[in-house]
Amino acid sequence: MDFDWSVILPLGSALILGGFVGFERELVGKAAGFRTHSIVSVGAALIMMISIMMFESFKGQGAVSDPSRIAAQVVSGIGFLGAGAIIRSGVSVVGITTAATLWVCAGIGLACGAGYYNIAIITTLLVILVLIVFRYLDQYISSKKSSENGI
């Protein structure tokens, strides 16, 4: 059995890009960090690749196949994993951003698995930008609200 090197680029890029997002989560002390985001992204890439390969193998044999059907299940299925990251703590809810990053890492993995590396890279950069820059913006807004309310 010959090794198919064409799997390295989609799976490797999913690992790296999902890992970048997970690294940021890890730095801010979230439970779902580097490893979790990397695995979600690689898993989504794998599922997308298998879906495309199945489509290609049945093409022309009269079978009706759509590679987006399996990928669509990743999008809804990852919601269950994200739901596990959301915790109610008193009157506040924590983990929503981590759940969202897990969901977007699945999308990044699907993009890598389908060979859409530019979209995956741009999405990763935008997500990291939001996570880092918007955290400071959120802190600034919260401090303004606190000072206006005399807290």
Q: Are 38 and 15 in contact (CB under 8 A)?
A: yes
Q: Cα separation of 95 and 97, whole Å?
A: 6
The predicted-structure confidence for 5-35, as pLDDT tens digits, reads as follows 788 999 999 999 999 999 999 999 888 888 9
The predicted-structure confidence for 34-79, as pLDDT tens digits, reads as follows 899 999 999 999 999 988 888 887 777 766 667 778 888 888 888 8
Mean of pLDDT values over 77-94: 82
Total length of the chain: 151
Q: How many CB atoms lie within 10 A of CB 77?
A: 14
Per-domain residue ranges for the chain?
5-148
Contacts of 31 (CB under 8 A, 6+ apart): 85, 98
The whole model's pTM is what? 0.83
